[in-house]
Amino acid sequence: MWFRRDLRSDDNAALYHALKSCRQVFCVFVLDRDILGVLPRADRRVEFIRESLVDLDGQLKRLTDANRRADGGLIVLHGSAGITVPELAHALSVNAVFANHDDEPRSLARDILVAETLATAGRSFHTFKDHVIFERQEVLTQTGKPYSVFTPYKNAWLKKVDDFYLQSYAVQRHAAALAGRPEAYRAATPELSGFGFVASNLADLKIPTGSTGGQHLLDDFVPRMDQYHATRDFPAIKGPSYLGVHLRFGTVSIRALATTALKLQQRGSEGAAVWLSELIWRDFYAQILSNFPHVVAAAFKPDYDSIQWEQGPGAQALFQAWCDGRTGYPLVDAAMAQINQTGYMHNRLRMVTASFLVKDLGIDWRWGEAYFARQLNDFDLSANNGGWQWASSSGCDAQPYFRIFNPVSQSERFDADGKFIRKYLPQLARLPGTTIHSPWLASPAELAAAGVELGRNYPFPLVKHEEARARTLQRYAPVKKPG
């Protein structure tokens, strides 16, 4: 069993099928040099994975011990997965390798290489759906084509889903097939330094890791789910589930989450219905990536690739100011401080910051997409790409090009008291009332009393929003439809 983005023993499709089909099953995770090699030495995601591997190892040991087998646990190796997995299969003399699907283009290419190498040696490679409820072409239009608009996809998703698609995989029932690790592979999960990394601030952030952490967050969220629809847009309120990183690395089961939300929705919970829609959006973007892989590098709507974005040193300076949270718009800057300090950004703020970069600064959405990919703990290619293309109006079922978030009105509406801004921009904490949303409109006396000196400890706005909005409407002229 080759674990990848499914770091749990419970309700794991590939692990279930391996245990059910085979006499004995070894479990492995590869710290893949091809992925890790480009990351900074202190990376919260790597540390999350490492801690989750320790948790998974403990789960497997308990399952093995319960079936009276010694030396259970997870084999953790460091190497190029495309090479290391076939080599381990040979060393262990196994007949087959089991894994769950990963539909990102690079992962698909890797899996083709692994399958071919294994086949040459007479070994089979079996993969299964586990990361989403519906994948690839499981939900199609009446004409047999993939959906590109969310609402009809959601309706079809809800019509199709039933107990069969949500049933849990009974891993424990077949856990007697878990094999003890050979002596050469009994080493403990390596410390970060063992594969070239150092500690990040993950521990300081108190982000729960592994299946244990994922279950803790779910237990905390369920009593709040009824109010999700009313709290989810306000970054200073504990509204979200905070399960994004756990969904990304599979330390929670998507089937368990969808089942919980559906049951509460059926009891009339508006919050559960809205949260379920968020899970369906996740499936939607996953099937977009699978069926329209060109979105990785280009606009879903080809016409949008003709837009002329800002270029040159001026554009680079604007982009760097956005990255650093120096735009002069407090809600945008506080959101960027949040992602830079924690690897998390509230979903409402992801939309606000993306809209600002693309439609206020005129920067190519791909620049922002790449920055989020580096910073987000829960980075997922399909969701990140879908979100950025939505914000830039270039994606499927995206906001219209003329819908441009006003960063001040967004701030006044969703952080009215400035609580979130004050947390991440302490230099503005003493600004009174509504002045915290637009410091440049504050009087000299208000600024002085708050200790704010524009241009010194907080920047002037990079652009005037109304002027930027007018430029954006001109920029998008090539994609305007006549009439």
The pLDDT tens digits of the residues spanning 144-185 come to: 999 999 999 999 999 999 999 999 999 999 999 999 999 999
Point out the catalytic residue in the list 275, 322, 365, 390: 365
* Tokens standing for residue 90: 């040979």
CATH class of 1-130: alpha beta
3-class SS of residue 471: helix
Beta strand 75-79 with 28-32 is: parallel
CATH 1.10.579.10 at 302-477, yes or no: yes
CB of 461 closer than 8 Å to CB of 328: yes
Identify the sign of the CA torsion 86, 91, 96, 98. negative
- Torsion of the alpha carbons at 106, 109, 113 and 115, rounded to the nearest 10: 110
Is pLDDT above 50 for 12? Answer: yes
What kind and span of H or E run contains 166? Answer: helix 163-166
User: What's the pTM value of the predicted model, to 2 decimals?
Assistant: 0.96
Q: What distance in Å separates the CA atoms of residue 156 and residue 160, rounded to the nearest whole number?
A: 6
Q: In what order do the strands lie in the sheet with 75-79?
A: 2-3, 28-32, 75-79
In angstroms, the CA 98 to CA 79 distance is 19
> Tokens at residue 321, please?
């100011």
388 is catalytic: yes
Evaluate whether 384 touches 372 at the Cβ level (below 8 Å): yes
Residue-wise pLDDT for 26-77, tens only, equals 999 999 999 999 999 999 999 999 999 999 999 999 999 999 989 999 999 9
Dihedral pair phi/psi, residue 98, rounded to 5°:
-115, 140
Q: Which of 309, 340, 440, 446 is catalytic?
A: 309
Confidence of residue 390 (pLDDT cuts 50, 70, 90): very high
The CATH number for 132-168+210-291, chosen from 3.30.830.10, 1.25.40.80, 2.120.10.30, 1.40.20.10, is 1.25.40.80
Provide φ and ψ at 52, rounded to 5°: -70, -30
pLDDT digits (tens, 9 = 90+) for 221-231: 999 999 999 99
- In angstroms, the CA 400 to CA 390 distance is 9
For the question of residue 191 being annotated catalytic, the response is no
Catalytic residue among 2, 157, 367, 388: 388
480 or 245, which is more confident?
245
pLDDT (average), residues 396-412: 92
- Does residue 450 carry a pLDDT above 80? yes
- Measure the CA–CA gap between 151 and 142, rounded to whole angstroms: 15
- The three-class DSSP label of residue 430 is coil
Selecting among 281, 322, 367, 390, the annotated active-site residue is 281
Q: Look up 347 and say whether it is catalytic.
A: yes
pLDDT at 482 over 70: no
Q: Count CB atoms within 10 A of the CB of residue 478.
A: 11
Could you confirm whether 309 is annotated as catalytic?
yes
Q: At 483, is the pLDDT very low, low, confident or very high (cuts 50, 70, 90)?
A: very low
Catalytic pick among 291, 340, 347, 406: 347
Check residue 257 and give its pLDDT: 98
Identified catalytic residue from 135, 278, 412, 446: 278
Sign of the four-CA dihedral 365, 367, 370, 372 = negative
The token pair at 89 is: 């299969």
Hey, what's the torsion of the CAs at 5, 7, 10, 12, to 10 degrees? 30
d(CA 191, CA 263): 41
CB 15 within 8 Å of CB 98: yes
CB distance 323 to 334 below 8 Å: no
Structure tokens at 465: 């929003």
What ranges do the domains of the chain cover?
Answer: 1-130, 132-168+210-291, 302-477
Q: What one-character DSSP code corresponds to residue 400?
A: P
Tokens 């008291």 belong to residue: 417
CB 125 within 8 A of CB 11: no
Instruction: Please tell me the distance from the alpha carbon of residue 278 to that of residue 310, in angstroms, as a whole number.
Output: 32
Nearest in space to 336 (alpha carbons), one of 424, 418, 408, 405? 424
CA dist 173 and 169 (Å) reads 9
pLDDT score, position 397: 83
Tokens 């089942």 belong to residue:
259
* Cα radius of gyration rounded to whole Å, the chain: 24
How many alpha carbons fall within 13 Å on the CB side of residue 323? 17
The question of whether 412 is a catalytic residue gets the answer no
Q: Is a pLDDT exceeding 50 seen at residue 328?
A: yes
In this prediction, residue 481 carries a pLDDT of: 65
Dihedral (Cα; 160, 165, 167, 169), 10-degree rounding? 180
